[in-house]
Amino acid sequence: AASAVARLTDPHNRVGKLVIPEGRQLDDTTDMKTNVVNPGIFALISRATCVDLDGTQRCVSVADLRAAASRSTPTML
């Protein structure tokens, strides 16, 4: 267990950085005048999880994040 914690907290194992601006919506929003898509919290988290494994980029999908959030209690999250 100590080895797993050490690997999880090692900065070299960090996948991505994530900053969630205040007031950000969970889902993407689209500006009706410009059609510009503003990424939601789920999209920001999804992007931060991306890692290159054997030449293929892998990420936790927005759908998987949304499903996990809908099945979990706030305490679990």
Binned at pLDDT 50, 70 and 90, residue 9 comes out as confident
Half-sphere exposure for 77 (CA within 13 Å, toward CB):
10
Give percent of the chain with pLDDT exceeding 70.
97
Tell me the pTM. Answer: 0.72
Q: Check residue 74 and give its pLDDT.
A: 84
DSSP 8-state assignment for residue 45 = H
Tell me the pLDDT of the chain averaged across its residues: 89
Q: Check residue 44 and give its pLDDT.
A: 94
Q: Which long-range contacts (CB under 8 A, 24 or more apart) does 57-61 make?
A: none
Q: What is the mean pLDDT of residues 15-43?
A: 92
| Residue keyed to tokens 């999250």 | 77
